[in-house]
C-alpha cells in the first residue's frame, strides 16, 4: 500500500522533473538552431565576405551592401523613434496631468506594439512610398521601422523614468529649477541607462525585421551603394529571404545564406546583450 503522503510526493517529483525537462528542451532547441547555423555557415565568413560587393549574379563575393543598408535603416529608424519615444515617455511620467489621458496614451502604445509587422509594411507602403512619394527608399524604410519601434522605446524609457525617485524631482524644483530644467538635468540623466536599453533592443529589432522593409526600402540587388536617402538598399534579412527562396541558384548559394544569417544573428545578439547588460546593471544600481 502506498500512503497518500507518498503518492503526492511522487507526483510532486514527477511534475517538477517534467517542468525541468520541458524548460531545458526549449533551451536546447535554441542552442541547436544557433549552433547548427554557425557550423554550416562559418566557412563562408571572411573579411572579404563582409567587406566586398556580391559578384557573378550574387553567387560569389560579399554582402557589404546588405550590411551597409541594414546599418542605414537602423540609424534612420533610431533618428525617428528615439526623440519621439523618449519625449512621449517623459510626457507620460512627468506631465500627464489627467490620468485618463495617460491611460489612453498607454492603451495606444500597447496596441501599436501589437500591430503585426506586415501591417506596418502596408502602412509604410501606402503612406511613405506611395502617398508621400518617397518611393522604395531608405527614408520610407526608416520611417516605417521608426514608427514600428516607438512602443518599445516608450515602454523602456517610461520604466526607466519611473525608477528615478520623486525626491530628486522635488529637490530640484524646490531649488528653483523649472520643470523643464528638472527633466533635462535631473530626470533624464538618471534614467539614461534604462533608456539606452530600449534603444539597443529597438536597434536590434530594426536590423532583424523583414516584412516592413520588404515593401518600403529593400531591393533584391543593388549594383551600387546607396547615394542618398531616396535610394533603395539591400538589407541583411531581406537578403537571406531572397537568396533562400528566389532565383536560380538557391542550392548553390546555401553557404552565402548561412553566412548572412550568422552576420545578422551576431549583429542582433550583440545589440540585445548590450541592452540586457545595461538593464541588469541599471536595476542593480537601483537596488543598492
Give the list of residues 6+ apart from residue 32 with CB closer than 8 angstroms, or none.
Answer: none
- How is residue 43 annotated by DSSP? G
Q: Is there a contact between 17 and 28 (Cβ–Cβ < 8 Å)?
A: no
Residue from the set 6, 75, 79, 119 that interacts with another protein by CB under 8 A: 119
Does position 29 bind another protein by CB under 8 A? Answer: yes
Question: Per CB under 8 A, which region of 14-22, 50-58, 191-199, 225-233 contacts another protein?
Answer: 14-22
Which is nearer to another protein, 227 or 248 (by Cβ)? 248
Residue from the set 6, 35, 79, 87 that interacts with another protein by CB under 8 A: 87
Which is nearer to another protein, 71 or 227 (by Cβ)? 71
Q: Is there a contact between 240 and 261 (Cβ–Cβ < 8 Å)?
A: yes
Q: Is there a contact between 152 and 110 (Cβ–Cβ < 8 Å)?
A: no
Does position 274 bind another protein by CB under 8 A? Answer: no
Which is nearer to another protein, 49 or 258 (by Cβ)? 258
CB of 236 to another protein, least distance (A): 8
Which is nearer to another protein, 66 or 227 (by Cβ)? 66
CB of 51 to another protein, least distance (A): 22
Q: Is there a contact between 86 and 195 (Cβ–Cβ < 8 Å)?
A: yes
Residue from the set 45, 68, 84, 225 that interacts with another protein by CB under 8 A: 84
Which is nearer to another protein, 138 or 147 (by Cβ)? 147
Question: Can you tell me the distance from the alpha carbon of 205 to that of 283, in angstroms, rounded to the nearest whole number?
Answer: 23
The helix or strand, by DSSP H or E, that contains position 61, with its residue range, turns out to be: strand 60-61
Question: Per CB under 8 A, which region of 43-51, 52-60, 176-184, 191-199 contacts another protein?
Answer: 176-184
Helix (H, G, I), strand (E, B) or coil at 60: strand
Which is nearer to another protein, 7 or 55 (by Cβ)? 7
Does position 223 bind another protein by CB under 8 A? Answer: no
Give the list of residues 6+ apart from residue 61 with CB closer than 8 angstroms, or none.
Answer: 48, 52, 53, 54, 55
Q: Is there a contact between 64 and 221 (Cβ–Cβ < 8 Å)?
A: no
CB of 55 to another protein, least distance (A): 22
The binding track of 89-118 with respect to another protein, each residue x by CB under 8 A or -, is: -xxx--xx-------xx-xxxxxxxxxxxx
Q: Is there a contact between 76 and 138 (Cβ–Cβ < 8 Å)?
A: yes
Amino acid at each position: 500500500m502506498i500512503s497518500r503522503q507518498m503518492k503526492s510526493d511522487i507526483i510532486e517529483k514527477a511534475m517538477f522533473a517534467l517542468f525541468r525537462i520541458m524548460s531545458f528542451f526549449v533551451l536546447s532547441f535554441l542552442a541547436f538552431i544557433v549552433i547548427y547555423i554557425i557550423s554550416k555557415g562559418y566557412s563562408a565568413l571572411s573579411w572579404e565576405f563582409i567587406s566586398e560587393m556580391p559578384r557573378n549574379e550574387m553567387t560569389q563575393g560579399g554582402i557589404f551592401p546588405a550590411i551597409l543598408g541594414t546599418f542605414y535603416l537602423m540609424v534612420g529608424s533610431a533618428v525617428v523613434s528615439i526623440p519621439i519615444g523618449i519625449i512621449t515617455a517623459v510626457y507620460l511620467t512627468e506631465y500627464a496631468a489627467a490620468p485618463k489621458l495617460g491611460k489612453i496614451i498607454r492603451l495606444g502604445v500597447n496596441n501599436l506594439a501589437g500591430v503585426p509587422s506586415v501591417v506596418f509594411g502596408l502602412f509604410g507602403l501606402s503612406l511613405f512610398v506611395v502617398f508621400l512619394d518617397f518611393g522604395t527608399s531608405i527614408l520610407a524604410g526608416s520611417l516605417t521601422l521608426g514608427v514600428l519601434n516607438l512602443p518599445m522605446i516608450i515602454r523602456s524609457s517610461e520604466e526607466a523614468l519611473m525608477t528615478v525617485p520623486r525626491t530628486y524631482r522635488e529637490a530640484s524644483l524646490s531649488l528653483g529649477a523649472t520643470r523643464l530644467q528638472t527633466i533635462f538635468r535631473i530626470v533624464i540623466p538618471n534614467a539614461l541607462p534604462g533608456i539606452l536599453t530600449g534603444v539597443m533592443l529597438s536597434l536590434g529589432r530594426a536590423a532583424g525585421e523583414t516584412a516592413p522593409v520588404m515593401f518600403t526600402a529593400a531591393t533584391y540587388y543593388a549594383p551600387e551603394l546607396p547615394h542618398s536617402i531616396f535610394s533603395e538598399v539591400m538589407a541583411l534579412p531581406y537578403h537571406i529571404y531572397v537568396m533562400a527562396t528566389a532565383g536560380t541558384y538557391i542550392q548553390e548559394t546555401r553557404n552565402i545564406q548561412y553566412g548572412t544569417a550568422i552576420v545578422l544573428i551576431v549583429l542582433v545578439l550583440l545589440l540585445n546583450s548590450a541592452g540586457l547588460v545595461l538593464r541588469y546593471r541599471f536595476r542593480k544600481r537601483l537596488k543598492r
